[in-house]
Structure 1
Amino acid sequence: MDYDTFVDQVARRTGTSSQRAVELIRATLATLAERLTGGEVLDLAVQLPEPLRPPLRPTPDTEAAQRFGAAEFVARVALRSSVEEPAARDVTGAVFTTLREAVTGGEFDELVVRLPRDYRDLVEPALAPGAALRRR
């Protein structure tokens, strides 16, 4: 999936402008990068368009996965994107659904199984039949 399509799909799912969607995507990906190990982050990053990769670049601080649950994930996305937590939950779902469409070879499913069980409510909408949009 190319960059414009990724951004357009998140914008549509969140009911925001493309510019705001980019901010929401970056907030979600930066939080995801904190939750995954450096190798897991790189596996995901290589499948995304270049403009989406910066929040996923590992640093010495993000090489090891931080251990935090789904509520903390949503709180961090909310803080980074300056939205209330209910909206951040919706944003996270929209980005996860679009990520699932964008990556190949079951990479998204592999990512999901690495997350604790309490993330299920965040990722299940992305896994539901019919969640994917038709690719252009």
Structure 2
Amino acid sequence: MDHDTFMGQVQARARLDSRGAAEAATRATLETLAERVPAPLAAKLAAQLPREIGEHLRRVATAPDQPAGGLRMSRRDFLDRLAQRAGADVAKAAYEARGVVEVVGEATEGAVLERIRQAMDDDLAELLFAGSTGPA
């Protein structure tokens, strides 16, 4: 999947009103995800995405202060970081993140995304990897 197709899918899936909003939701989701998961998993996922999109994962996963195993954070902490990056309330940011993760799943090999899901606490994995029909 190329960059434009990916962003178009995010825009449609998350019901966003512009390509810029899709870019922002993607950046916020992937940067926050990269903070949470082990750096090698973030790098593997990044390698399967278009370069511009994968860069959101790489930039955070390779930051000097980023623990190699990812930051341990509660669901609330993850959502707060996500919402802050997205410039949205928690419910809207969570809904958009689910859309981004769904498109990432379609754009990549399922094994890497499944390993990322397994690296998360169950409540956070449920939030990000469960389908959704609208803002929570």
* Same-fold call, TM cutoff 0.5: yes
Whole-angstrom distance in 2 between the partners of 1:40 and 1:107: 7
Paired position in structure 2 for 1:59:
63
Residue-by-residue CA offset, 1:40-84 (whole Å, 9 max, x unaligned): 111110000001122211112224210012222221111011101
Paired position in structure 2 for 1:44:
45
Whole-angstrom distance in 2 between the partners of 1:121 and 1:56: 19
Q: For residue 56 of structure 2, what is the amino acid of its counterpart? A: P
**Partner SS state of residue 10, structure 1:** helix
Report the Cα offset of residue 105 of structure 1: 4.8
Residue-by-residue CA offset, 1:96-123 (whole Å, 9 max, x unaligned): 1111111115211111111111111321
Paired position in structure 2 for 1:114:
119
Whole-angstrom distance in 2 between the partners of 1:62 and 1:53: 17
Paired position in structure 2 for 1:130:
none
Q: Aligned residues: percent identity?
A: 33
1:33–1:62 Cα contact (<8 Å) kept = no
Q: Post-superposition, which runs of at least 4 consecutive aligned residues in structure 1 deviate over 3 A?
A: none
Instruction: From 99, 120, 131, give the equivalent of 1:125.
Output: 131
In structure 2, stretches of 5+ residues that fail to align are none
1:37–1:62 Cα contact (<8 Å) kept = no
Change beyond 3 A, Cα 1:24–1:105: closer
Paired position in structure 1 for 2:32:
31
Paired position in structure 2 for 1:13:
13
1:75–1:88 Cα contact (<8 Å) kept = no
What is the root-mean-square deviation in Å for CA atoms of aligned residues? 1.4
Whole-angstrom distance in 1 between the partners of 2:106 and 2:46: 14
Paired position in structure 2 for 1:83:
88
The normalised TM-score by structure 2 is: 0.86
